[in-house]
Every structure is written in C-alpha cells, then in structure tokens.
Structure 1
C-alpha cells in the first residue's frame, strides 16, 4: 500500500493519522491521539505535538532531537480510566546515529473541550 501510515495501523496515511495532523479534527480516543502523535514525531510535525499536548504540561517550544529515525510503534494497551481520562502503553523503536533505541511508556491523556490531550507519561526501562 502506498503511503502507509507510520503508526502501525496498516491503513493509508490519509485515512489514518493524516486525518488529524494539521486539520484540528479531534481524535475519537486516546489511542488514536497517541498514534497521531507518534506519526507527528516521524513527520517532524511539531505543531501537531504542541496542539495535542495539555496546557498544564505543554512546553512553550519543542525541538525534536536531530538524526532520530522512527522505525515502529507497538501499542500494548489502551485503558479507559473514566470518561475524561485514559492511558496508552506503547513501545516506540527508533535509530539514532546507527544505534537502536526503544521507548516504553505509559502515557496519560485527558478529555477536555471536546478533544483528547496528552498530559504526561511514565517511562519503563
């Protein structure tokens, strides 16, 4: 399939995360937001990352680490805590200067003003 979405869904980018990046369209759940944020890292879309980051924890600016190539995303678990809170556990793999890296995180999300926002997360070693 041409232009497969980087989030690992197997769908075309335009039918998947492409619907959310740069459009302002809210994601239907925290997992879709997590996947769109991963795709934003792959595509260096800082605007999407900042727009989907909750104001209570969002940095004023964001500079992505140069030379990182994102390789794969595996969503391990999507847990709805209640109607306004959810968690997504994932593993994201990347390569920087020829070295493989693995990020295992449980991210927290909040539903506010008609959309999901990333709040923060716990990183596992």
Structure 2
C-alpha cells in the first residue's frame, strides 16, 4: 500500500489510498481477533446497508414502542408488536418478498400494489411510493 517514499517518512503528509484503507482495516481486524475482541467484518460490508439517520430512527422508534407497551401492560391493555420497523425497512421487506415471487415486471408491480406500494418507472429507474 506504500508506493511513495514519503509514505514511510516521519513528518510527511499521509496519503490515504484505497489499498492503504484495505490494509488498515485488515490490520485492525487481526488485532481485535488476536485480543479476543468482538469485531465486525470491515472488509465486506453488510448485505443490508442502512444510513445513520435510519439507524437512529429505528432506535428511537423501538424505545418509544417499548415505553408505549410498558404503559399498556400497566393498564392491562393488549400490547402492540414488540419490534419496531421503519418505513424503509418495511418497503425493503415488501420488495424482497415481491421479487422472490414475481416472474415479470407487471407481476412485480401488481404484487407491490396489493401491499399498497405504487411502482413508477422513469428513465430506466424504479421509484416506490408508499401509502
């Protein structure tokens, strides 16, 4: 990953390349493994990527749902589902289910329409409108 002499000299600017980042990630993973620390896979990203905003929306939604369910239990009312799901997560789940069942685009669009999701195509890109 070091392809210039300045990359190894003290006091020189560090130039971060893709190869250097791959090397550093693998070194961090090896150090954590050696020290028996929990380590996520830094080299191969998650199959289901979520933005930071969606991550925190899910966390806050789950906390609110837990509080609401605790209040319902205290009053003796039936509780709601215990797992909070963001709108994007619901849409992803619905799309994956429709993709696994559909054989054509029209069938895919009709399966999503049954779930309340409208599919639009514009310039070769699909957009999904949720209710």
Q: Please say whether Structure 1 and Structure 2 have the same fold, judged by a TM-score greater than 0.5.
A: no
TM-score normalised by the chain length of structure 2: 0.19
Counting strand residues as a fraction of each chain, which structure ranks higher? 1
Highest relative contact order (Cα 8 Å, sep 6+), 1 or 2?
1
Counting helix residues as a fraction of each chain, which structure ranks higher? 2
Higher radius of gyration, 1 or 2: 2
TM-score normalised by the chain length of structure 1: 0.20
